Structures are given as C-alpha cells and as structure tokens.
Structure 1
C-alpha cells in the first residue's frame, strides 16, 4: 500500500468561484442543500380540460394515477389508455399526445422539522418542457428547458398537510409553431414528421430545449412526450447550506498531487462564523486527512478554496492503462453530522489533454492524453437508452456499459441529440474506466443562437450540468454539438439560406459562433476544471473545413450513407480521429418477436418497416444492398436478420482495424452506435434488451489490446500487428494459406518485437504471392501473432465474396454437456466454417463467444450459462453458418431475387 502524505495550505476566500485550472482531477457535487429529500407525494395527471384533443379522445381529462419521475406516455400506458408504444406500428396513432397540453398534480404533507426551518426550496431536476408550476394555488415558476434544474423558494408557503403542486405542460409543437411559421426563411431542422402533427417545412425541435430525439431520429420513434422526467426535491435549511463541492487538480504526477478543495456555502441574511471540516479518504476507505477551519461567512454565496497536497497519489486511469482508483472527499459545516450540512463526492485524480499537434503538411492531430500517456480511443457512440428516459434503470446502464468494457472499449461518446445522462451513467463509467466524450445537447440542424434569450437559457443549462457532472474523472471532453457545423458548411444548409436571405444567414452563423465558439467555451473554461472543449463534431474547432480527414475529428458516412460505397472504402479513409461511422443490422429474432408476430416479419411488412427508421435511404433496401454485395439475397426473413449482423460485424471490423493500424496518425475509432433506444433495426452492437449482436462479439476481438490487422483491398493485403498495452510484446508472426479442407498450401514465420502503444506494419502481400495458383474460392489466408506455439491474435482473410466461396453445409458438429454450475458447448469443424452463430430458441442462455469462424479440423469449447435444464438447452440449441445459409443458391441468381421473396 502506498503511503499518503497531505500538506494543507491556508484557506483563501474568494468573491467568485475558483474554477479555472489547466490540469484536472475531478470532483464536484451540484447543490447538496440542507435537508434534501425527494418529494413524497401522490401524483396524478390528466389531459388539460378544454384541450382540443378531447374532441377525439373524450374522457382523458379525468385524473389518473401518475408516476414521478415519468412521462405522459408511460403514465397513459400504465393507466391502460394507450397500447405499448413499441409494439406493432403504434407510432402514427400516438402523435396526438405531443399536440396536447397535460396537467400533473402532487398532493403532499410536510414534516414538522422541515416546516420549522426558516428556508425552503422546491428543486425540479427535470421538467419536460414548457411548464407552468403553481403551489397551493399560487404561481411558483415557469420552465422552458428540459435539461435544466429549476428551483423556487417556498419559505412560508408550505403547510403541514394538504399541499398541492400543479404543473401544466404545454405542447412544444403548439407553443412554438406559430413563431416558426411566421419566419420568412426557416433555419434547418432535423427530421420532419411523417405523421402530419407538424408541417414538414416548419419544424420546432431545434427551437426548444428538449431532447431532440423525441421528435424522431433515424434509429428511433417520434414520441413528443411531456412530464416530470426527473426527481422533485424539497430542500430546507437553517442558516447555511453547502451548495457546491469540487476538487480542482493544479498539478499531478506519480509523486505528487496539488489539489484545491472548492466549497460553496450559502449563508442566510446575517453574517456569521462557522467551522468547515473536510475529510479525505483513500480508495481503500482509510481517512488520510482532515481539515478543520473556522471561517467568516457573509450573507449570500461564499466561495472557499482549501489547498492540499497528496504524495504518491493513486491516479485514475482508463481501462487497460491502470487502476480506476478514486478518493472520497466529504465536507461539512460544524462538528455535527447533520446530513443537512454535509456534501460528499468521489474523485479520480487524473489529467487530460487534447493533443492537436500540427503536421508539416498542414494537417492537425486529435488525440487524448491521460496522465501524460497518449490513449488510442476505442469505442462507440451512445444514444439515449429509451424513448422515455425515466424508464432507464441503473441496472440497464450497467448492462450496456459493461458490454462496452467487455468488448475492450475504453471510450464512449454521449451523442448530443438526447439528454445529459443520469449520475449513475458516469458513476459506472468511472468504475469501469470508460472515458466519456460528452456532447452538449444539440443533435443537428441549426440553432437560433442569434436570440440572446435562447443563448442565455443554454448557458444556464450548461452550467447546471457541468457542475452536476464535472467531478467524474471519466469525462474528458465537452463538445458543443453534433454535426451542426458540417450541416451548415457541407450539407447545403448554409448555402440555401444565404441564397434566400444573405443578411439573415449571416446573423444565423454569427449566432452559431457566439453560442458554440464563445458562450459554451467560456462556461467550460469557468466550470469544467480543465476538461477541454470542442466546438462541434465533426470539426476542427471552428476551423474553415468542418469534416476534414486531415484535421480534427471525422464522421464518415459514404459507406452506408450516400453514395453507399462498399465497406472496403473504409480502407481508403484515414482520419485523425474517427468519431462516427457505421453499418446497420437487425437485432436477433427474439427481440423482433417482442414487437412483431411471425406473420408480420417480412422485409416489406408494415410493422417491420415501422421499426426501420432509416427512411431517407429506405433502410431495408439499403441493408439488402450491403448484404447482397457479400452474401447474395437472403432466402427468408431469419436469414436476412442473420446476414445483416454478419455484414455489419465484418464491415465495422475492417474500418476499426484500419484506424488502429494507422496509429499514431489516427488516434481514435468510435463506431455508431453501442445501444438502442427501442427494439428495431439500427447501427447498434447491443440491442434494446441487452443482447449482443455479432458486432459486439467482433469488437471484443478487433478492440483487444493485442490484435492482428490483415486488411485486403484490390488484390493486396496489408499485415499489421497492434499493441495498445503499455509493455513491449515479444513473439512471432505467422502467415498460412489453407484450402477449405485444411491442406496447408504455404507458411511463413518470423520473430517480432512490438513496441508499447504502437501499430507495426509487418508486410504486404499480393493475392498472387499468397495463393500461388490456388483456387481463390477455396482458400483462406491465416494471419497470426504467436507466443511460442500459442496463438495470441488471429485474423482470416478471404479472396472472394462469401457468395462466391465453396462453402459447404453441415460441416459443424456440436456437443453440449453439463459441467459444474454451467454447461460446455464443444464445436468441431470438418471443413472451413464461416459465420457461426449460436442461438437458443425460446430459452434464456448466454454463450461466452459467438459470431466466429473455425478453420478445418479446429475445435472450440465454450461456456454456456443458463438456468434451464440440459435437455431443454439441447432442444433449443440452434447453430447457423454461412455454409448452411448460402448452400443451395446459384451465384448467378442470387442478386436477381426480389425483396418480396424474403418473408
């Protein structure tokens, strides 16, 4: 155990918050007020009497029980007033909900102790969105931002029994539409509604501070919901309360951490003296320091800075680079242990830099340096975990974040079209060592940044959320928005508006620069404890070009998006940091069964199309385009699902390995996307119910610290070995060429030393060198890294598309047996077997690996976990391979089959 020694300097009291620092550790807790507790109340809701929607939905103005936190959609579902929004094609029939005004009511009592305190406040952590709040019949506040924390003093306005809180939520569409329609020239929105609830030429989503995805996205439904989506608290206190606690890192290395504990105390109307006590506990829970000081407090806000030093600090590292050690810092006022006057946070000691070195050829890098160590970012983008955020549990967050870590990811990008995640998300990310790129909540289109009131609202929102989250060591970047700069510069948004009204266009762009180039940058500098700011993704931080492979971060959608290039095009795109790229796939059949009956499961069926939200490219047609490139046309809907997953996994693997092999020029690869908002087709690698698609299994291999990147394009294979570890790796590389029966055609083997945190190109081979006259449709090249005779990493390279290969059915043999508290599944391949997918029909079982190939004669034994008996699992076991799937389809007819055949 390391010895920890702390030295404390004198207390400094500042008139303004001390929060600027170039180096960061982490920790703050926003507003832990006096006695703060969730409001205990009986909640109910109704359609507001007199609302126009009552004409078609009579009786909805009767009070029904509500759940807080929650939303109007989930409350309507719980009351039996609507069907499940995720089942069938329900979306079109539920759009009326977003056009209505809704009323919520809470009835509650207040205990004597809280009533006796002279100061009280109601705190609303999430009101969605245009809300008018009254307490006991009197106006309390008006809210217009779902992302903010809203507070209202209620001193002297509470009674012991029978308090009533009323909240009216106005439809954001009806509230904003007249203003938007009155604009002579519109600024670009995101996704127009296909349902007629909002004109396609007057979208309101980018004018309201509400989760943008509620208005629909290309992976999720349009449910414009409303409600009390986060907790309501009643806070009460006497003379003081702690309103903020943070720890700023002023200097940090392996020998010493110079820190400043920043404490904000609100003092009542009279000046006074109070004792401040700070306790510091190490990652093992041992108290290693205590500060006690008497301080003079003036009325109002008091900002205190208490310097301290830790010798031999235990730093927080991203996964794969070291431990995720965290300290606990507790502040309290006075000697007592009243929770009213305490605040506690967990901090991780680490520094973060965004490295942007200039190249001789005019390029500029983009990479993260943590504790002085360059980190290649491996991971995915994260979207909201549900259309209705209050339904997201800590368990679901852990499930999906654990899936990311299990797939050897070290970074997640929290995309800007959703909401600022709950503290639980970041607690888990801290624990798992996952770095977080955090967007501000702007998902696309263009914002009315030219309006001072809009910008002021956003600044308040940013300050609320940075203060709430900045103590988390996982957060390493605050980014202004998603794709707004590139939309303006590259998609025609700016050009169209300039042609229509150049004066207004200039005003819109200046508003953008003011909001994302100045306002948010300033808030991050003031409040973010040294975490870097980035204006947009993709961008080079307001440089001339927005989406540049040579400078800044890159979104690449020419594969999948237009012009729908083949996945090999990934190998021709070498960015400095790839923050978005992706291919779609459908989730497994058990997930599809949750919303579509077997009869509805047709590629062109209404329910399936309702859960395919990539409307711009006719998603299933685009998916077939990619499936047919490699595999031909599927014979059935289950084959369509299976082949979509194989295509997605193999395509993204190609891109990710190329990015990794391009280190250090490229320093990040974040595919789109990790998770799902609902059950349906998407770019995710983990579906809505937590099932891993083939992509997540592949990611565990292609993101492994030590991996093989053998990348074939245009008849040539570039062979590189990857080592993201912090230690050198000694071994041998081996290249073998086999036929599908297992006969070895040639072998090469050489010793190699892989430097730490490196990509090493070993060789380049032409097809002619590898095949030496062998049949490309019956041959495979095996690229490996060995330690002794043990295979450390492996990648197989094929010479023709799968639909042209001589793959055979029934080449895989299996045996399932019990072994202690689990089962073992043994698989043996007679000949080459590609694309093995292990499933258990109507049985709950998990298998340790999936979506892999077996070489001729190879055997693998996998752990299977299930509570089902062995006989049930044996009956449920279903193995699918490419040889079985493609077996009886002549190549000449594959690409001519019609979509209608897939059902």
Structure 2
C-alpha cells in the first residue's frame, strides 16, 4: 500500500506469523465468526512461516503439518471454505521498546493484508473488516485494538462461486479447468491440469502485519526516473500526515540519493491543498538531479549501478523537528527503448541506446504451494540465472506478482524483467464495473511498487490472450480487448512512463503468434516438432516464450518422485507430471523423444524398455543440444531475432518438467548447454550449406574483445587433420561471422556439402582463448554420419576407452578443482560427485583436450566425507572414476 516504502524509522511493523489455527468447512455452511464459534470444527495449529510473513496458504499449512503432500492423494482446495483465526494482545507500550526520535504520543495502528487468495472476508473481534475479491490487491485498515483481539479470515470455496450462471466467454482457454475462472482475480497456478501441481492457492499468501506509526505517517510514495543529458533525475511524490491529524506544523521533506559514499540531496515542495477526502495530509513532490550519473546496465553489458534513496521528514511543532527517516530502497538510471525496426515488424530493446539480445527464461515461484521464498533462496536462484548468461526473466501472467525481494535481487544482479499483468488466455469481463475497479486498483498498486526499478524492462498486458482468441475462432475484432490495448496501457504510461508497454505476450502480424512479426510464443522447434532450421526460417523477432521440453533431471532429482529410482517414464506417476496441453493426444515427453530420434538415430520407444537409463541420458542431452543450437542461431550477427525466453526456468514439482532447473534448484543438462551458449562472449558454428561452416563470435561486453580463435579438425574422434588460429577483435556489444574455410589453405569441404569424396574431418572445434590458456568459449560441430555422434539402432553404441582421466585437487576454501583430460572426443560428459555441484556439466571435451571444472561443496557435505564420483561421457561404455590428487 505504501508503494516503494521499504522501512520507516519510528514505524513498527509486526508480522502476524505465529499462533494461527486453520480449519475447513463445507461451502457456505458457516456464515461468520459467531456461527463458527458454535460449530463443531476441528482446528489445526499452523506452523509459522517466516518466509511468507503470513499464516500461509491452506495447502502449505497442511503440508507443514504432514497431513497432505503433492505426493499423496489429491485434495480439492477450491472445494472447501477455509478459516484462519488468531488471538493477539492489543497495544501496550509498556511491553515493547519505544521507537527513538519520534514526535508526539498519538499512535495509529493499521492491519495490513498484502495478499488474500481469493474471495476473502476478514473479521476483527466479530466486526467485518475487509472483503477482498482480488488476491493481487493489498489492504490497509486503520483499527482500534482491544486488550485482547481475535482475527478471523474466511476464504470461500471457489468451486461454489464458479457454479453461478454467468455469460459464456467468447472463446475457450483449454489450459484452464473452469472457463468462468475469468471472473476471479486468482492465479492459474494449481488450476491448470497438465502443467501445474494440483495445489490451488487459497488463503493468506503475502504478509499480514500490524503497522504502528507515531508522529508522522508517510503514504503513497511514487518514484520515477528520467534523464537530462548525462544527468539522472529522480522524481518523487508522497503523502505526509501528522498524528494527531488536527495538529498543524510546517513540514520539511528532504530526499537523499547515495552511491559509493557520495550523497545528493534536494528538498521536496508542498503541493497546493487537496479537497479530496481520500487523500488526507499534504502532498510533497520534487526531484533530485545527479550529474554524470552512473547508468544501470544488464550484467551482460555492464555494471548494474544502483543508488540508495531516502526521505527525511520532519514537522516543526513547539520548536522541535526530529526527523523520520524513510528507506525507499534502491533505484537505478537507465533508458529503455522499444525498437520495432524500420518496417515496424520487429521487437527489440535498447538499453541506454545499445541493442540488447535478451535471453533467459520464464520465472516460476520457488514454492508453488506457499508462493513464499526465503530472500536467500531468491538470491541463490537469481545468481544461478546470472551465472548462466541469462539477462532477462519473464514473470508470466499465469503466475503471481513477485515479492520485493525478487525485484531487489534482479536490480542488484543486472537481470531485466519482462513483467506481465496477471492475465492469461481467457476472455476477461472487462465491461463489468466491479471487475474493472478491482483491476484498476491492482494495476495501480503493482505499478507503484515497480516504478523506478531499473530491472523493469517491459510491461505486458497479458499472456497469450490474443493468441488464444485467434486460435479458438474469435473474430478478429475481439483479439485485442480494450482492457489490454487501452486501460492497462494508460495506467502503465501514467505510473511508469519510462517502461515500454506491450499489449500481449504474442502480438503482431496477420495472427498474434506469427513468429516474424512482433513477439511470439515460438514452438516451431519444440512442440511443433519442426527441424532445427526452422529457428532461422521462421525469422523469429522475439520469442516471449519458447523451447518447452520435458527436460529430464538428474537421477537424484528423479529419486524424489513417487516411486523413486524404480520409476519409469511410462508409469502413471511419471505421466502425471509430464507437461501436456489439455485435449492433445501427446505430451512433452513425446516432443523430447522426437528430437532424440533426430539427433541420435534411435527408436526411443524401443530404447525406453531395452535400456531405460540410456534412454534418459540421451533425452537429457537432446533437449540441451537443441536449445543451445537455437540460441546460437538467434545470436548470430545476421539474425532477425532480438530475444528468447525459455518456458520455464524451474520446475514446479519434481519430475521431467519444462524447467531447465529442477524443483530442488539443481541444474539440468539443458541449463548447462544454455549456460555455455548464453555467456556474454560465446562462439557458435553453423552449417551454411554450400557456403560451408560459419563461426559466429558474439560479444556483449562494454570493452572490445581481443582474443584468439582456433579451429581444430579431427577425424575418427581422435586424429588431428588440421589446426589453425588467428587473432580476432570484436567491438563492444558486437558480433562477428567468419567462414571456417578462411582459416585453411585450399578448399576443405568441412560440412561435406559437395560430397566429392570422404569428408576431410568429422569433428570441428572452434575455441576462443587468451594468452594460450584454456578456452573460455568453445563450439563443436559433429558431422552428420560420424560414427561417434550417434547412439546406434539400439542406443548402445559406445566406446570402450576414450582415454578419459579425472583428478580432484582440494582447494583451501573447501571446494575442489577437477582436472579432466581425454585422448578421444568425449561427448556430453556428466560429472557426478557426491555432495558437490559442478559449475559446468554435460560438456564436450575435444580430443587431446584438458579442462578444469570447479566443484562447489554443498552444505550437506561434511569435511570428513571422502570424495567419490564419476564422469560418464555419452559416448563411453563405462564411467571414469574420479581420483584424488596427492
């Protein structure tokens, strides 16, 4: 409710996390707390949820009490009324430390509900306090507390409300189990069979707080950044109220902006008095100018420079003016511009005037049951994003608006945010006045919270509403509802004028999901099972989501599924968690199998029962190879594409989900393939047919790239038949395309396009190095038909001896350096060392090559445990044991 206010010196925020009880009743059976007290209801103590700062959702509470889990029988959380209650004492200044430096004795106490899902009523001491119809709207209510208080919350059964007769939608959204969910402002998580766990979000999912203020109350803070030449300008407006309200005093509001010990200050001016009774107190507004401001950049392109913003507020009364300090959090200065190109067919972002290739994934809550996450877990998850070379996350309209901790981490780590409003696929009743008012309040609150965040790069009206309308036969005039084309666009322009607005995640062209115009959900390579060259032929401009596969996690993650290590891919317990589109006669396991067959020339169905572990190993690598190849294609210099976001970053529950990271936070093979392809400086090889092989060097950094590019040619997986190197230079934020044939004397048919004889090589390796060190970027091109490239008809073609060695060298910090060497080409080496996580995995190693991989010690490992592990290349018959160097 306070926009960007993070903390106020003198205001006490008391999270109400402990002492809650939970009960469920049949829909509509109990009307209010008085009837509840008379009813025979079984109450369950709710374990405190420090991460949520709230009593937590019904599903999370039952999970914590070990009476329900995602692995057990399903429970219809939308089919019951749910009740929470808590008793707590009222204000008692003798029982708590006095805030220092506070003016006056008058105190204002407010109950704050930051998120109630979904149709909720709140009573305080038997009096109805809040009725909420939107889980995305926060409520703040000033209250008078008694000596002893009872807070009661009821969340009504959504199923009963959905049963009411309402007008039919103009198109269907098959991913949603009930079409009339469109009337309710609730997340689709838990309500989309086929891709989200069956745990509908019901109850308090954001903090419930007692807010006690004395002396001065700071409300309704709005921030906005702009530029005046090379100076950054921060615009601030806020509401200031004194307690008690009848007292008068001349206010002084000072804004401070600090970075690196340098502080800039400015005084805000009081605006003319307002006659609006809904805006008590006085409005103060002003701006602060920072000469030669340090600009914020995505981490791939520069430093994400941040400034800390503070307000100091005082009211002069009786000759005293002790200030109240208000922390407004971090702000950054950057210019974001939407570039649609001279033909207005494209979609690309320019950050501070520089075109940025946006790559990343669609974010999912770390815990889809509670929707809460410890700030340290969020930090670790976004570190993982940054380390992968990704520079953008999309918060999709199928999810929820994330916490301030999430956006803080994105700001600090230089990760751009594509932010959807929480609308997806459905035909929303925008003409209903109550619905429209609720949506407007939701948008206002969300935008004020996100304003002046440098990570915020795109505001998007919805996820695939236009695409769904078009695909399901709605007339063209209904594809772009005014809610997204006009209403939300206007609100975004008012509060966040520096952020581009886009009406839908798939938008532009003759139909909304046309890949070569605007933005699209691109699944040509992927769900639609097209060949890899479709990534170029489709001329994708910006894939707001793409490359959805049922990505197989490593064995330890599979062990956490029902059935454990004995589970097989055709088992119902596996298939329950295999993502699918409802109504389709296929799932995303089938999509993965299609590309396993293409890459490895095997029959996945036969391999699945002949050698299930081999089947899984090929599946892990196949989706990683496909994703890396597509992004290599999209990042090349002549590509039309300006960005791609994988659907999803992280699985919602254990299984072979869309995530490139499993539900426990462990990277899958696909993550590692992408990590190498998405680094700020990367190299890629493409087959250009009769034009031979092309080597593509992309460089996002702010300084020129000076390096050496080596191309090595091998035959039969071991024999060196050519090697050449030359210096290369790339400008800042630049790219190169170099014919591989230019490195060698005479003509070499390196991609065997002309077929006038045997190929000169069946493996081409391009490496970027500096000063003769290990390659810092590398690409491999395996000629189609090479014996070591395919698994064979049975999937069992593997070599007995690659000459692979692995030596572990302990480090002083507790981690381990793993030194790996091979005589022959080793494909997709899987490093598996107990109690350690490899910084890189599922990587290729060139013949005669060596590399050092860092192993991070996991918290579960004690220093006394011996190091045990293996390396398993995809083309090796057996694993290689890790030895410990002496």
TM range (shorter): 0.7 to 0.9
1:21 maps to what in 2?
none
1:866 maps to what in 2?
857
2:884 maps to what in 1?
none
2:100 maps to what in 1?
none
Whether 1:325 aligns to 2:305 is yes
Q: CA deviation at 1:758?
A: 2.2
Closer/same/farther in 2, CA of residues 882 and 110 from structure 1, 3 Å limit = same
Contact 2:270/2:285 (8 A) holds in 1: no
1:536 maps to what in 2?
504
CA distance in 1, matches of 2:598, 2:865: 38
2:36 maps to what in 1?
none
Question: Counterpart of 2:365 in 1: which secondary structure?
Answer: coil
2:650 maps to what in 1?
675
Q: Which among 121, 128, 153 is matched to residue 110 of structure 2? A: 121
1:738 maps to what in 2?
714
1:684 maps to what in 2?
659
Q: CA deviation at 1:671?
A: 2.1
Closer/same/farther in 2, CA of residues 622 and 669 from structure 1, 3 Å limit = closer
Contact 2:709/2:766 (8 A) holds in 1: yes
Whether 1:222 aligns to 2:188 is no
Structure-to-structure mapping, 1:358-507, within 5 angstroms: 358-359=341-342, 362-489=343-470, 491-494=471-474
TM-score (norm 2): 0.85
Count of aligned pairs between the two proteins: 817
Whether 1:571 aligns to 2:536 is yes
Closer/same/farther in 2, CA of residues 444 and 294 from structure 1, 3 Å limit = closer
Q: CA deviation at 1:404?
A: 0.7
2:744 maps to what in 1?
none
CA distance in 2, matches of 1:382, 1:648: 19
Closer/same/farther in 2, CA of residues 133 and 718 from structure 1, 3 Å limit = same
Question: Relative contact order (alpha carbons < 8 A, sep ≥ 6): 1 or 2 greater?
Answer: 1
Question: Counterpart of 1:853 in 2: which secondary structure?
Answer: strand
Contact 2:119/2:156 (8 A) holds in 1: yes
Closer/same/farther in 2, CA of residues 120 and 872 from structure 1, 3 Å limit = closer
CA distance in 1, matches of 2:322, 2:643: 43
Whether 1:148 aligns to 2:137 is yes
Question: Counterpart of 2:86 in 1: which secondary structure?
Answer: strand
Q: Deviations over 1:359-413 (max 9, x none)?
A: 3xx4433222222322221222212222223442212211211111001111111
Whether 1:724 aligns to 2:700 is yes
By percentage of residues, which structure has more helix?
1
Q: CA deviation at 1:146?
A: 0.7
Contact 2:11/2:211 (8 A) holds in 1: yes
2:687 maps to what in 1?
712
Q: Which among 824, 827, 834 is matched to residue 834 of structure 1? A: 827
1:103 maps to what in 2?
83
Q: CA deviation at 1:432?
A: 0.6
Structure-to-structure mapping, 1:709-788, within 5 angstroms: 709-712=684-687, 716-763=692-739, 768-770=749-751, 779-787=762-770
Q: CA deviation at 1:304?
A: 1.9
Q: Which among 198, 202, 205 is matched to residue 181 of structure 2? A: 205
Closer/same/farther in 2, CA of residues 468 and 686 from structure 1, 3 Å limit = same
TM-score (norm 1): 0.83
Closer/same/farther in 2, CA of residues 777 and 729 from structure 1, 3 Å limit = closer
CA distance in 1, matches of 2:587, 2:510: 33
Contact 1:274/1:294 (8 A) holds in 2: no
CA distance in 2, matches of 1:852, 1:649: 10
Structure-to-structure mapping, 1:22-421, within 5 angstroms: 28-29=4-5, 35-39=12-16, 42-48=19-25, 61-66=41-46, 67=48, 68-82=54-68, 84-85=69-70, 87=71, 90=72, 93-113=73-93, 117=106, 119-154=108-143, 156=144, 158-161=145-148, 163-180=149-166, 183=167, 187-193=171-177, 202-216=178-192, 218-237=194-213, 240-254=216-230, 256-266=231-241, 270=246, 272-289=248-265, 291=267, 300-301=279-280, 302-334=282-314, 341-359=324-342, 362-421=343-402
2:35 maps to what in 1?
none
Gaps of 5+ in 1: 1-26, 54-58, 194-201, 499-505, 888-903
Q: CA deviation at 1:100?
A: 0.7
Contact 1:69/1:390 (8 A) holds in 2: no
1:523 maps to what in 2?
491
Closer/same/farther in 2, CA of residues 756 and 179 from structure 1, 3 Å limit = same
Q: Give RMSD over aligned pairs.
A: 3.4
CA distance in 2, matches of 1:119, 1:52: 36
Q: Which among 509, 516, 520 is matched to residue 554 of structure 1? A: 520
Whether 1:824 aligns to 2:793 is no
Contact 2:27/2:157 (8 A) holds in 1: no
CA distance in 1, matches of 2:64, 2:710: 60
Q: Deviations over 1:83-125 (max 9, x none)?
A: x21x3xx3xx323332111111121112235997464332210
Q: CA deviation at 1:188?
A: 1.6
Q: CA deviation at 1:471?
A: 3.4
Closer/same/farther in 2, CA of residues 531 and 400 from structure 1, 3 Å limit = same
Q: Deviations over 1:18-37 (max 9, x none)?
A: xxxxxxxxx93389795443
Greater mean alpha carbon deviation, residues 347-356 or residues 804-813: 804-813
Structure-to-structure mapping, 1:792-807, within 5 angstroms: 792-800=776-784, 802-803=789-790
Q: Which among 840, 845, 849 is matched to residue 840 of structure 2? A: 849
1:197 maps to what in 2?
none
Q: CA deviation at 1:190?
A: 4.1
Whether 1:881 aligns to 2:876 is no
Q: Deviations over 1:720-760 (max 9, x none)?
A: 22122223334454433211343222345455432322222
CA distance in 1, matches of 2:27, 2:358: 54
Closer/same/farther in 2, CA of residues 139 and 788 from structure 1, 3 Å limit = closer
Closer/same/farther in 2, CA of residues 226 and 647 from structure 1, 3 Å limit = same
Q: Which among 633, 636, 639 is matched to residue 661 of structure 1? A: 636
CA distance in 2, matches of 1:705, 1:522: 35
Closer/same/farther in 2, CA of residues 691 and 459 from structure 1, 3 Å limit = same
CA distance in 2, matches of 1:61, 1:450: 40
Closer/same/farther in 2, CA of residues 188 and 113 from structure 1, 3 Å limit = farther
Contact 1:379/1:412 (8 A) holds in 2: yes
Closer/same/farther in 2, CA of residues 815 and 259 from structure 1, 3 Å limit = closer
Q: CA deviation at 1:571?
A: 3.2
CA distance in 2, matches of 1:185, 1:313: 50
Closer/same/farther in 2, CA of residues 31 and 457 from structure 1, 3 Å limit = farther
1:581 maps to what in 2?
546
Q: CA deviation at 1:128?
A: 0.6
Gaps of 5+ in 2: 31-38, 49-53, 96-104, 742-746, 880-886
Q: Deviations over 1:279-303 (max 9, x none)?
A: 4242224544363878886673433
